[in-house]
Amino acid sequence: MPDPGLEWFNALSRRDAEAELRSCCASRAWAAAVAARRPFEDRAALWKAAAAAMEELTWPDVEEALRAHPRIGERAGGDSKEASWSRGEQAGMRDAGDDLKAALVEGNRAYERRFGHVFLICATGRDAAERLAELRRRLRNDPETERAEVRDELAKITELRLAKLLGEGL
């Protein structure tokens, strides 16, 4: 059965494919690695390639991707696909009270002091209280454990965004 979104993606030039992929994950190395593996026979092959490319990233590549993510509780600005998707992913913050928002601000600061980068969590389907609890739990991680968790969360976000990207290619 044809997959119009995947057909659209496979037909893009390499340059355009990389640009589209960077809306899913801002790491240039990741986007180049996935684009180079095209064409994909099905979405499962694309997910597999995306996961493999994620595992291949160096920590500086991951940090490049992290720089494109707003802090939890902050609204992404701009009109890019990535900013629009981020605003949707952070929808669970809409009903958070002032105390919870303040705790997230302080938690973000503590996390950035400890680890040197933004706290990343796949926020889709999680309310503000769940995000705060996860932030506090992860503050207790050692740096190596936290890097592994960051990479896992980045992979989850990227997979969700890849599905959105293919849906837009219809």
Q: Which residues are catalytic?
A: 69
Q: Which of 160, 72, 84 is CA-nearest to residue 118?
A: 72
Rounded CA gap, 115 and 128, in Å? 21
Q: Where are the beta strands (DSSP E) in 2-151?
A: none
Longest dimension (CA), the chain: 50
End-to-end CA distance of the chain: 14
Residues 6+ away with beta carbon under 8 Å from 29: 53, 56, 57, 58, 61, 64
- Give the amino acid at 68: A
CB 31 within 8 A of CB 167: no
